[in-house]
Amino acid sequence: MQRRSLLAALPALAGVPALAHHGWSSFDQERPIYLSGRVTQVAWRNPHAELQLELPENPTLPADLAKRSLPRQSAAVDGAALLAKARLPTRRDRRWEVELAPLTRMQAWGVEEIKPGAEVAVLGFTFTGEQGEAVLRAEYLFVGDKAYGLRSSPA
Protein backbone atom coordinates (compact mmCIF):
# COMPACT_ATOMS: atom_id res chain seq x y z
CA MET A 1 0.00 0.00 0.00
CA GLN A 2 2.80 2.46 0.87
CA ARG A 3 4.57 1.66 -2.39
CA ARG A 4 1.40 2.45 -4.39
CA SER A 5 1.02 5.77 -2.55
CA LEU A 6 4.60 6.69 -3.29
CA LEU A 7 4.29 5.75 -6.96
CA ALA A 8 1.07 7.76 -7.22
CA ALA A 9 2.79 10.83 -5.73
CA LEU A 10 5.85 10.77 -8.01
CA PRO A 11 4.24 12.52 -11.01
CA ALA A 12 3.14 15.39 -8.75
CA LEU A 13 6.65 15.75 -7.33
CA ALA A 14 8.19 15.94 -10.79
CA GLY A 15 6.67 19.39 -11.27
CA VAL A 16 8.11 20.83 -8.05
CA PRO A 17 11.01 23.19 -8.83
CA ALA A 18 14.33 22.90 -7.03
CA LEU A 19 14.63 25.73 -4.53
CA ALA A 20 17.62 28.11 -4.42
CA HIS A 21 19.58 26.48 -7.22
CA HIS A 22 19.46 27.67 -10.79
CA GLY A 23 21.27 26.47 -13.91
CA TRP A 24 23.24 28.89 -16.08
CA SER A 25 20.56 28.83 -18.79
CA SER A 26 18.20 30.84 -16.54
CA PHE A 27 20.58 33.81 -16.52
CA ASP A 28 21.16 36.49 -19.15
CA GLN A 29 24.87 36.07 -19.85
CA GLU A 30 24.83 38.92 -22.38
CA ARG A 31 24.07 41.51 -19.71
CA PRO A 32 26.58 41.54 -16.84
CA ILE A 33 25.29 43.25 -13.69
CA TYR A 34 27.47 44.93 -11.06
CA LEU A 35 26.37 45.04 -7.43
CA SER A 36 28.19 46.27 -4.34
CA GLY A 37 27.09 46.58 -0.78
CA ARG A 38 27.01 45.11 2.70
CA VAL A 39 26.53 41.40 3.33
CA THR A 40 23.53 40.78 5.61
CA GLN A 41 23.33 36.96 5.56
CA VAL A 42 25.64 34.14 4.50
CA ALA A 43 25.06 30.45 3.74
CA TRP A 44 28.52 28.88 3.35
CA ARG A 45 27.39 25.48 2.03
CA ASN A 46 26.91 23.45 -1.12
CA PRO A 47 25.58 23.30 -3.79
CA HIS A 48 27.09 26.81 -3.71
CA ALA A 49 27.81 29.48 -1.16
CA GLU A 50 25.18 32.22 -1.04
CA LEU A 51 24.93 35.62 0.50
CA GLN A 52 22.40 38.38 0.76
CA LEU A 53 23.70 41.74 -0.28
CA GLU A 54 22.17 45.04 0.77
CA LEU A 55 22.81 47.74 -1.81
CA PRO A 56 23.19 51.42 -0.98
CA GLU A 57 20.21 53.65 -1.68
CA ASN A 58 21.82 54.99 -4.87
CA PRO A 59 24.16 52.35 -6.31
CA THR A 60 26.84 53.44 -8.76
CA LEU A 61 29.39 51.83 -11.04
CA PRO A 62 33.00 52.44 -9.99
CA ALA A 63 34.85 54.72 -12.41
CA ASP A 64 37.71 52.20 -12.68
CA LEU A 65 35.53 49.11 -13.19
CA ALA A 66 36.44 48.54 -16.86
CA LYS A 67 40.15 48.77 -16.00
CA ARG A 68 40.20 46.31 -13.10
CA SER A 69 42.58 43.41 -13.27
CA LEU A 70 40.86 40.04 -13.18
CA PRO A 71 42.35 36.64 -12.41
CA ARG A 72 42.49 34.02 -15.14
CA GLN A 73 40.10 31.10 -14.89
CA SER A 74 40.44 27.61 -16.34
CA ALA A 75 37.22 28.21 -18.32
CA ALA A 76 37.32 30.62 -21.24
CA VAL A 77 35.81 33.79 -19.75
CA ASP A 78 36.40 37.19 -21.35
CA GLY A 79 36.49 39.13 -18.10
CA ALA A 80 37.61 42.38 -19.74
CA ALA A 81 34.58 42.34 -22.05
CA LEU A 82 32.26 41.63 -19.10
CA LEU A 83 33.70 44.56 -17.16
CA ALA A 84 33.29 46.84 -20.18
CA LYS A 85 29.62 45.80 -20.58
CA ALA A 86 28.76 45.86 -16.85
CA ARG A 87 25.60 47.73 -15.88
CA LEU A 88 23.62 48.38 -12.75
CA PRO A 89 20.36 46.46 -12.52
CA THR A 90 17.26 48.22 -13.81
CA ARG A 91 15.19 46.88 -10.94
CA ARG A 92 15.37 48.88 -7.71
CA ASP A 93 15.63 46.05 -5.15
CA ARG A 94 17.87 46.93 -2.24
CA ARG A 95 18.45 43.29 -1.21
CA TRP A 96 19.83 40.70 -3.58
CA GLU A 97 20.54 37.00 -3.20
CA VAL A 98 23.98 36.29 -4.65
CA GLU A 99 24.88 32.76 -5.72
CA LEU A 100 28.61 32.19 -5.48
CA ALA A 101 30.53 29.02 -6.40
CA PRO A 102 30.64 25.58 -4.78
CA LEU A 103 32.76 25.48 -1.64
CA THR A 104 35.53 23.45 -3.30
CA ARG A 105 35.95 26.18 -5.92
CA MET A 106 35.84 28.92 -3.29
CA GLN A 107 38.65 27.06 -1.48
CA ALA A 108 40.65 26.68 -4.72
CA TRP A 109 40.53 30.47 -5.10
CA GLY A 110 41.46 30.98 -1.46
CA VAL A 111 38.26 32.85 -0.62
CA GLU A 112 37.82 33.05 3.13
CA GLU A 113 34.33 32.64 4.50
CA ILE A 114 32.52 35.94 4.14
CA LYS A 115 30.81 37.21 7.28
CA PRO A 116 27.73 39.42 7.69
CA GLY A 117 28.73 43.07 7.70
CA ALA A 118 31.48 42.62 5.09
CA GLU A 119 31.54 44.99 2.12
CA VAL A 120 31.79 43.12 -1.19
CA ALA A 121 31.07 43.63 -4.86
CA VAL A 122 30.05 41.12 -7.50
CA LEU A 123 29.81 41.02 -11.26
CA GLY A 124 27.42 38.45 -12.58
CA PHE A 125 24.14 37.70 -14.24
CA THR A 126 20.52 37.95 -13.22
CA PHE A 127 17.50 36.25 -14.71
CA THR A 128 16.68 37.04 -18.32
CA GLY A 129 14.73 40.30 -18.43
CA GLU A 130 15.41 40.75 -14.69
CA GLN A 131 12.22 38.77 -14.07
CA GLY A 132 11.43 36.97 -10.82
CA GLU A 133 13.51 37.22 -7.68
CA ALA A 134 16.44 39.59 -7.20
CA VAL A 135 19.11 36.91 -7.72
CA LEU A 136 22.58 37.36 -9.14
CA ARG A 137 24.83 34.49 -10.16
CA ALA A 138 28.36 35.74 -9.53
CA GLU A 139 31.02 35.49 -12.19
CA TYR A 140 33.54 37.60 -10.26
CA LEU A 141 33.69 38.42 -6.58
CA PHE A 142 35.54 41.48 -5.25
CA VAL A 143 36.55 41.49 -1.57
CA GLY A 144 38.77 44.40 -0.58
CA ASP A 145 41.47 44.65 -3.23
CA LYS A 146 41.14 41.00 -4.28
CA ALA A 147 39.19 39.66 -7.24
CA TYR A 148 38.11 36.03 -7.63
CA GLY A 149 36.79 34.29 -10.75
CA LEU A 150 33.96 31.93 -9.84
CA ARG A 151 32.95 30.21 -13.08
CA SER A 152 35.85 27.77 -12.86
CA SER A 153 39.08 27.02 -11.05
CA PRO A 154 42.10 29.35 -11.15
CA ALA A 155 44.16 28.97 -14.35
Section 38-57 average pLDDT: 96
Task: Label the pairing between strands 135-143 and 95-99.
Answer: parallel
Per domain, the residue ranges of the chain are 20-149
pTM for the predicted model, two decimal places: 0.82
Strands (E) in the chain, as ranges, are 33-43, 50-54, 95-99, 119-125, 135-143, 146-149
Superfamily of domain 20-149: Nucleic acid-binding proteins (2.40.50.140)
Above pLDDT 90, what percent of the chain? 75
Comparing 145 with 2, which gets the higher pLDDT?
145
Mean pLDDT of the chain, nearest integer: 86
Kindly write down the DSSP assignment for every residue of 116-134, as one continuous string: TT-EEEEEEE-BGGG-SS-
Give the tens place of pLDDT for each residue, 98-145. 999 999 999 999 999 999 999 999 999 998 877 789 999 999 999 999
Looking at residue 131, its pLDDT comes to 78
